[in-house]
């Protein structure tokens, strides 16, 4: 049982009795993330009352932690003034995320509530490509001119810090806003007061362009353990930063997207229980329809080899074993390679190492499974030649399946396609077709049929 559920009945009772003071005292001591969980347990009208007792800063934090559907529902109950207060308290990146997920008609109404400066800022961020660094960055960062002293920098941080998303990493810029370096708050505090920022900053700055994919930001921050990453435009001018809290959300989003692709499911626009039943089905049916059409090739191949199959009907006994072994190992190797490519552990230049490694792995695993299949065939049917046929077929199909599963994501990456599209069902279907051809061609030669 989650601990916040303990408070839910008590909060409901306070809401029903209109004890707003008591409700405020309890919520004041609870973390915004936990308040968001509590809010989800309340009825719509109860949620509005709970939000009413929160202060402006906390209400924006809690609101940004809710799902888009929950945010949209709450907006219907809030007054325009309350909505305006929430939007102004939200950080630019959270506000962009909210506006990005709402219907266009709602977005237009919300933008009209914002002052010109915030409205222009929101439009600027929304105009960047979807899933780009510019779309997820925040403009609330600390920038310091390179020529100012440490004492001046500290004074600047004290003045602007309360309105910034983070002050732990400060970015040095020149008069044209060109990014020149980076300095941590620790370095600034420990430096001598009369030292210039240009003397203590690190000039070799890791940065990302506004049009770069957000996944690139995830890779950089994960590799170097940064708390934030500067975002620059085409002229190397500092325009924003991406913070580690947003990176965690992006990483989860990207991983979820890859898992859906690898399972041959279209990425849903909403969470599992919030998507409509038929929308939930549509995301799965499309790929399954394609796979069914592809699987008909297997049926046509069995029809082609029907003469061989009718000669020795026992060949049919081992088709499920053969297809299962090849499909499963192909799915395993494709999953390993797709994940290694996604994390940067593997690059396209190492393709030959991957193929050699997976070829050897396929041969070894195939030999083990093939030997097992040989003895199973001997025990069940007491036919040595059939056992040899099955054993060699399993060994070959497993080796080929493992190699195909590893090679296909590499081919997709070479073609500049997302390797995650190489779904397990797709690999399985391809290897099923290949396995049937291998099995019956080997049977024709060994059994002379």
DSSP 319-385: HHHHHHHHHHHHHHHHHHHHHHHHHTSS-GGGHHHHHHHHHHHHHHHHHHHHHHHHHHHHHHH--HH
Residue 302 has pLDDT above 80, yes or no: no
More confident residue, 112 or 343: 112
Give the whole-number percent of the chain exceeding pLDDT 90.
39
Residue 1 has pLDDT above 50, yes or no: no
Q: pLDDT, tens digit, for every residue of 82-110?
A: 888 889 888 898 898 888 888 888 888 89
Residue 282 has pLDDT above 90, yes or no: no
Name the band, by pLDDT with cuts 50, 70 and 90, for residue 406: very high
Helices in 263-314 by DSSP H: which ranges?
277-304, 306-311
Residue 178 has pLDDT above 80, yes or no: yes
Q: Which helix (H) or strand (E) holds 232?
A: strand 228-232
Name the band, by pLDDT with cuts 50, 70 and 90, for residue 259: low
Residue 252 has pLDDT above 60, yes or no: yes
Is this prediction's pTM over 0.75?
Answer: no
Q: Show Cβ contacts of residue 52 under 8 Å, excluding neighbours closer than 6 positions.
A: 20
Report in angstroms the alpha-carbon separations of 245 from 80, 93, 138.
29, 11, 12
pLDDT at 256: 72
Backbone angles phi, psi at 81, to 5 degrees: -65, -40
User: Averaged over 302-311, what is the pLDDT?
Assistant: 68
Q: How many Cβ atoms sit within 10 Å of the Cβ of residue 416?
A: 6
pLDDT at 104: 82
More confident residue, 424 or 324: 324
pLDDT at 274: 53
More confident residue, 251 or 146: 146
For residues 242 and 135, the answer to whether their CB atoms sit within 8 Å is no
pLDDT at 388: 93
101/118 Cα distance (integer angstroms): 18
Residue 266 has pLDDT above 70, yes or no: no
Bridge partners of residue 230, in order along the sequence: 241
CA torsion angle 315 316 319 320 (round to 10): -140
More confident residue, 5 or 282: 5
Q: Can you list the positions of beta strands (E) in 69-226?
A: 143-145, 169-173, 179-184, 208-209
Give the whole-number percent of the chain exceeding pLDDT 70.
88
pLDDT at 309: 65
9/15 Cα distance (integer angstroms): 10
Q: pLDDT, tens digit, for every residue of 354-372?
A: 999 999 999 999 999 999 9
Helices in 203-243 by DSSP H: which ranges?
214-224
For residues 70 and 40, the answer to whether their CB atoms sit within 8 Å is yes
Domains in the chain and their CATH numbers?
4-127 (1.25.60.10), 143-260 (3.10.580.10), 272-447 (1.10.357.20)
Joined together, the tokens standing for residue 212 give: 């770069």
């Amino acid at each position: 049982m989650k601990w916040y559920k303990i408070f839910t009945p008590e909060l409901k009772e306070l809401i029903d009795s209109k004890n707003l003071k008591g409700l405020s005292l309890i919520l004041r001591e609870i973390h915004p993330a936990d308040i968001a969980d509590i809010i989800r347990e309340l009825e719509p009208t109860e949620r509005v009352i709970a939000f009413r007792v929160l202060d402006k800063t906390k209400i924006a934090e809690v609101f940004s932690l809710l799902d888009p559907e929950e945010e949209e529902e709450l907006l219907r109950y809030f007054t325009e003034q309350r909505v305006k207060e929430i939007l102004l308290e939200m950080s630019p990146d959270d506000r962009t995320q909210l506006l990005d997920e709402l219907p266009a008609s709602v977005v237009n109404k919300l933008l009209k509530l914002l002052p010109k400066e915030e409205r222009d800022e929101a439009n600027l961020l929304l105009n960047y490509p979807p899933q780009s660094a510019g779309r997820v960055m925040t403009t609330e960062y600390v920038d310091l001119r390179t020529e100012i002293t440490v004492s001046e920098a500290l004074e600047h941080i004290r003045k602007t810090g309360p309105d910034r998303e983070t002050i732990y990493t400060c970015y040095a810029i020149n008069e044209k806003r060109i990014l020149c370096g980076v300095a941590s708050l620790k370095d600034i505090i420990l430096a001598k007061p009369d030292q210039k920022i240009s003397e203590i900053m690190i000039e070799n700055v890791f940065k990302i362009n506004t049009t770069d994919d957000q996944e690139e930001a995830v890779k950089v921050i994960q590799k170097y353990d940064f708390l934030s990453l500067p975002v620059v435009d085409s002229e190397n001018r500092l325009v924003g930063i991406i913070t580690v809290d947003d990176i965690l959300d992006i990483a989860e989003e990207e991983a979820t997207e890859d898992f859906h692709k690898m399972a041959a499911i279209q990425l849903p626009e909403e969470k599992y229980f919030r998507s409509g039943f038929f929308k939930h089905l549509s995301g799965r049916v499309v790929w399954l329809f394609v796979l069914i059409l592809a699987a008909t090739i297997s049926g046509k191949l069995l029809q082609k080899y029907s003469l061989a199959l009718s000669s020795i009907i026992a060949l049919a006994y081992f088709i499920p074993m053969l297809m299962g072994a090849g499909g499963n190992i192909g799915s395993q190797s494709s999953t390993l390679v797709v994940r290694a490519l996604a994390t940067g552990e593997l690059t396209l230049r190492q393709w030959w190492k991957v193929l050699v490694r997976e070829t050897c792995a396929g041969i070894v695993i195939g030999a083990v499974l093939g030997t097992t299949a040989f003895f199973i065939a001997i025990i069940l049917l007491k036919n040595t030649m059939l056992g040899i046929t099955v054993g060699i077929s399993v060994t070959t199909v497993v080796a080929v399946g493992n190699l195909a599963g590893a090679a296909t994501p590499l081919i997709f990456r070479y073609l500049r396609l997302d390797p995650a599209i190489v779904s397990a069902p797709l690999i399985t279907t391809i290897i099923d077709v290949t396995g049937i051809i291998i099995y019956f061609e080997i049977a024709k030669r060994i059994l002379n049929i």
